[in-house]
Structure 1
């Protein structure tokens, strides 16, 4: 009796699995043969960086929106379309799927710029928070810290700043600046030479701040804060034209 009970139980399980698989297969066939009513664009842009709009996303798909209406989903290779959309530097991620209403939904997430790369001999660019180097847009200008100098040309040749050790350290410095209210308001520009040595230019004050390579970031900014809190209030904001933070345990100001 026990053996027969186990056999019946297994048979029921097998039948249940086959039914579920059949339902899934039917749903997939039905979905693939379903007609597309419209294309719905959803843009995740929590930081309000309007580099792209819905028409740009449709153009990136390289599909005719009007001819798609009424077509079946099996005519569209969603993975290929996702790949085309993700190739746009402004886009961090993209997902395509169909909803219950028969719409082809395109959900995209835009990257957030944290610095603008400026130069005199070519077009500018941006660095995104994940290190991706992006072009500028004629639709939107982000209010971020500026970066200039000969090192900018090297950065604009990279796909991602994090590809080098100096680049990783630079991203770390940019993140410290933007995440601190005081530094985000005070530091306007980073000028970087060919050896990745940085000079900071403040919003308030005329001094050039020689930061050096983006190393020992916390220690250097701590010294700079001492300069702003303890030295300038006594000596005056226009007293110094140069401040050097590179020497261990001291601030050189002249």
Structure 2
């Protein structure tokens, strides 16, 4: 009995020490000072709207100074929510890590962001912006230009979203068309003129209806005609008429 009592007493003491230590560690963790940022931009090789300094600047503009504050005085959910409302951020995650340098423990605010993916750029007299895959507006940035087709002419946003967007998305997801189409000029009445990146001709596309069939004819034209070095022979390629490609 005496031996069992000693064992039980030891176990109770260990539990008390662990609880006390956990309390002190938790208290220390909560009162720890945030020393640094760690910013990770997942798609930095694909898009250049954001960099480390711009993410930190946005955090501090919308949430105030972070470095030097106690960890438990900072609401990570608020930071994450405001980042997700940024014009350029599709998704993000915010969390703390502890990094050790010799005997010094540093509290680091980690921010992982995923940028929005522009599908097309709209250029008009009033403004210049992109649309992403969710049809959300992304402001044009003077520090970075995304390589997407440019929409010019009659740039009514409702028309672009409702009548033209699926065509733009089709171009974005097709390797050949993405490399080919540089500009989509919208005429009065909703007809399109496509400007290729290579060649001095224009592609009269008509309205954006039946675009898959029209692009099929366009690809066939490139394979059969332009592969024979006839780049300077035509000024216009007309896809407006069903079942045929008219060149002039």
Would you say the 8 A contact 1:169–1:215 is kept in 2? no
Report how far residue 77 of structure 1 moved: 1.9
Number of aligned residues: 219
TM-aligned CA distance change 1:222 to 1:38, over 3 Å: same
TM-aligned CA distance change 1:174 to 1:30, over 3 Å: farther
Structure 2 residue aligned with 1:106, among 78, 102, 111?
111
**2:224 is the counterpart of 1:227:** no
Question: Structure 1, residues 189-220: CA drift from partner, whole Å, max 9, x if none?
Answer: 11123554321111233322122333333311
TM-score when scaled to structure 1? 0.72
Question: Which protein is bigger by CA-based radius of gyration?
Answer: 2
Question: Structure 1, residues 26-64: CA drift from partner, whole Å, max 9, x if none?
Answer: 687765444323222222224442222222212212344
Structure 1 residue aligned with 2:48, among 39, 50, 69?
50
TM-score when scaled to structure 2? 0.73
Task: Tell me how far apart the structure 2 counterparts of residues 224 and 251 of structure 1 sit (CA, whole Å).
Answer: 8
Q: Which residue of 1 aligns with 2:152?
A: 148
The residue correspondences of 1:84-95 to structure 2 (distance < 5 A) are 84-95=82-93
TM-aligned CA distance change 1:205 to 1:222, over 3 Å: same
Report how far residue 110 of structure 1 moved: 1.3
**2:204 is the counterpart of 1:207:** no
SS at match of 1:38: strand
Question: Structure 1, residues 135-154: CA drift from partner, whole Å, max 9, x if none?
Answer: 11121222332221112xx2
**2:169 is the counterpart of 1:172:** yes
Would you say the 8 A contact 1:47–1:112 is kept in 2? no
RMSD value over aligned CA atoms? 3.1
Would you say the 8 A contact 2:167–2:211 is kept in 1? no
SS at match of 2:219: helix
Question: Structure 1, residues 114-159: CA drift from partner, whole Å, max 9, x if none?
Answer: 332222x2332222344322111121222332221112xx23x89x
TM-aligned CA distance change 1:167 to 1:82, over 3 Å: farther
Task: Tell me how far apart the structure 1 counterparts of residues 32 and 177 of structure 2 sit (CA, whole Å).
Answer: 54
Report how far residue 169 of structure 1 moved: 1.5
**2:236 is the counterpart of 1:242:** yes
Structure 2 residue aligned with 1:96, among 70, 94, 97?
94
| Greater strand share, structure number | 2
